[in-house]
Amino acid sequence: VGEDQSADLQRLFTLTIETLETQIAIIDLVSEVGGWAGAFENTVVPVSDDRLLATFRDVTEIRLEHDRLVWLADHDHLTGLPNRRNLEQQMAASLTRARKTSTPAGFVFIDIDDFKAVNDSRGHDAGDVLLQAFVTRLQSAVRDQGIVARLAGDEFAVVLDSVASSAELESILDHVMCEVRKPFDISAGEITVTCSAGAVLCAGDEAITDILRTTDKAMYRAKHAGKNCYRITPVSASKE
């Protein structure tokens, strides 16, 4: 073990001798380059006033599986994006920042138009590859202005911090729509898609349920307007 881990073990051994009580702790191993390299569960049992028995169990695989399950609870397995549960946490944080800074936050729902036709004509594997490519394109278009999440299927959401005005939100959406219209070159061939989007601007005191409902309605207004466009709606519209 390295110097840091050795010190952790020494403290564990000392505590066992001082208390004469069994101690159990997990010690993380760090590689020479500084990354996490594994973990061992250490059980230290006092045998006498100055003797102890230590056993070590490699729990690296258990920890990796645990971390994977924790990650999956908050992320989409296909795209690696935050899932709906994670999205609401990101929204809550964004609303808090909006209240503190008095700068609105923007929330966007995006749905790929006629995505079912891609699955039907090219197959579900091609559809999955397209979704992954779409995510990469969407993240690139949003850049560091926001966080992209996957709601379900071909539906995505974007959380935008510090959107100064409706005009800025429109500028962001115009750029996203323009980037998405560019052909996707995937293994199944070139595919061109469009998307429909709904968006809202929030001051920070709105309820997340109202934001989600209003943004969803705005997106479907864009669908009914002929697709390949977006609509921006006040959150208060959800109470009409």
Q: What is the DSSP string of 212-225?
A: HHHHHHHHHHHHHT
Nearest-angstrom CA–CA distance, 6 and 67: 24
Number of Cβ within 10 Å of residue 149's Cβ equals 25
DSSP-assigned letters across all residues of 82-141: B-HHHHHHHHHHHHHHHHHHT--EEEEEEEETTHHHHHHHH-HHHHHHHHHHHHHHHHHH
Active site residue 154: yes
The one catalytic residue in 154, 161, 205, 216 is 154
User: b/e string for 35-58 if b means 16 or more Cβ within 10 A?
Assistant: eeeebbebebebeeeeebeeeeee
User: Which of the residues are catalytic?
Assistant: 154
